[in-house]
Amino acid sequence: MWRRALRGVVRPALALAGLGVVGSALADTPLSSTPTYKFQGRIDYVTTGATFRTKRNSATAADSCAVGTTATSQAVSGVPAGATIRRALLYWAASATRTGDTDTVPGPVVNDATVNFDGQSVSAMTLFTDSTPIPSVAAPTTYNSFFSDVADVTAYIAGLVTPNKTYSMTGLTIQSTNVGTASATTPARSSGHCTYATVLGGWGLYIIYDDPTTTYKNLVMYEGFERSQNTNISRTMTGLRVPTTFSARTSILAWEGDETLNVNTTTNVAEALSFGAGQTPSAITNIFNVGGAGSGARQGIFNSTISTGLSSGTTATASGRDDAYGVDFDTFDVTAKTSTGATSATINIIGSQDLFYLSSVPILITSGVADLSLTKAVSNATPVIGSTVTYRLTLSNAGPDPVSSAVVPPENVVVSDALPAGLSFVSASASSGTYDAPSGQWSVPEPVANSSVTLDITATVTGTGTITNVTEVTSSPQPDSDSTPGNGVTTEDDYASVPLTVVQPLTVSKAFSPATVPAGGVSALTITITNPSSFAAGTLSVTDDLAGTMGLSRPLPLRLTANSCGGTVTTGTTPATLTVGSPANESSDGILKLTGGNVAAGGSCALTVQVTVPDASATTRTNTIPAANVTATISGQAVTAAANATGTLSSTTSSAGAAFTCDARFYQLRQDPLTLLSNLYVLDRRNLAAGGAAQWASGFGPG
- Asked if residue 621 lies in contact with residue 550, where contact means CB atoms within 8 angstroms, the answer is yes
pLDDT: which is higher, 58 or 620: 620
CA distances from 187 to 2, 9, 111, 515 (A): 15, 15, 21, 112
Give residue 513's pLDDT. Answer: 95
pLDDT tens digits, 340-386: 878 788 988 887 777 888 898 888 887 666 788 899 999 999 999 99
420 sits in which H/E element: none
Best-predicted range by mean pLDDT among 232-246, 540-554, 661-675, 685-699? 540-554
pLDDT: which is higher, 590 or 216: 590
- Asked if residue 248 lies in contact with residue 333, where contact means CB atoms within 8 angstroms, the answer is yes
pLDDT tens digits, 445-470: 866 667 889 999 999 999 999 999 99
Indicate the DSSP class of residue 31.
Answer: P
Rounded Cα gap, residues 540 and 506, in angstroms: 10
Across the range 20-45, mean pLDDT stands at 70
Give residue 670's pLDDT. Answer: 56
- Of 592, 649, 651, nearest in space to 617 by CA: 651
pLDDT tens digits, 495-507: 999 999 999 999 9
pLDDT: which is higher, 135 or 327: 327
Give residue 540's pLDDT. Answer: 96
Give residue 137's pLDDT. Answer: 84
Rounded Cα gap, residues 151 and 88, in angstroms: 9
Q: Provide the percentage of residues in the chain whose pLDDT is more than 90.
A: 52
Say which range, 22-36, 86-100, 333-347, 649-663, has the weakest mean pLDDT. Answer: 649-663
Judged against a pLDDT cut of 70, whether residue 698 lies above it is answered with: no
Average pLDDT for the chain: 84
Give residue 554's pLDDT. Answer: 87
Q: DSSP letters of 151-199?
A: EE-HHHHHTSS-S-S--EEE------S-BS---SSSGGG-B-TTTTT--
CA distances from 75 to 46, 53, 158, 320, 436 (A): 11, 19, 16, 10, 50
pLDDT tens digits, 136-154: 888 999 999 999 999 999 9
111 has which bridge partners? none
Judged against a pLDDT cut of 70, whether residue 664 lies above it is answered with: no
- Of 306, 252, 324, 256, nearest in space to 52 by CA: 324
Give residue 23's pLDDT. Answer: 30
- Of 619, 605, 525, nearest in space to 571 by CA: 525
pLDDT: which is higher, 680 or 469: 469
| Residue 668 backbone phi and psi in degrees, to 5 | -135, 125
- Asked if residue 375 lies in contact with residue 301, where contact means CB atoms within 8 angstroms, the answer is no
Judged against a pLDDT cut of 90, whether residue 183 lies above it is answered with: yes
Give residue 572's pLDDT. Answer: 87
Judged against a pLDDT cut of 60, whether residue 123 lies above it is answered with: yes
- Of 198, 176, 36, 52, nearest in space to 131 by CA: 198
- Asked if residue 404 lies in contact with residue 477, where contact means CB atoms within 8 angstroms, the answer is yes
Across the range 512-530, mean pLDDT stands at 92
Q: Is 588 exposed, middle or buried (0-12, 13-18, 19+ CB in 10 A)?
A: middle
Across the range 46-74, mean pLDDT stands at 91
Judged against a pLDDT cut of 70, whether residue 312 lies above it is answered with: no
CA distances from 201 to 109, 215, 252, 261, 605 (A): 15, 36, 17, 19, 91
- pTM above 0.85? no
Name residue 223's amino acid: E
Q: Provide the percentage of residues in the chain whose pLDDT is more than 70.
A: 82
Say which range, 57-61, 102-106, 170-174, 347-351, has the weakest mean pLDDT. Answer: 57-61
Give residue 218's pLDDT. Answer: 79
Give residue 9's pLDDT. Answer: 28
Rounded Cα gap, residues 127 and 121, in angstroms: 16
Give residue 595's pLDDT. Answer: 96
- Mapped onto helix, strand or coil, the DSSP state of residue 524 is strand
477 has which bridge partners? none
Q: How confident is the model at residue 2 (pLDDT cuts 50, 70, 90)?
A: very low
pLDDT tens digits, 322-353: 888 999 999 998 999 999 878 788 988 887 77
CA angle in degrees (0–180, nearest 5) for 301-307-309: 90
Pairing of strands 516-518, 645-652: parallel
Across the range 72-89, mean pLDDT stands at 95
Give residue 400's pLDDT. Answer: 60
pLDDT: which is higher, 291 or 109: 109
- Of 267, 260, 270, 259, nearest in space to 293 by CA: 270
Find all residues with CB under 8 Å of 32, minimum gap 6, and list them: 222, 223, 224, 237
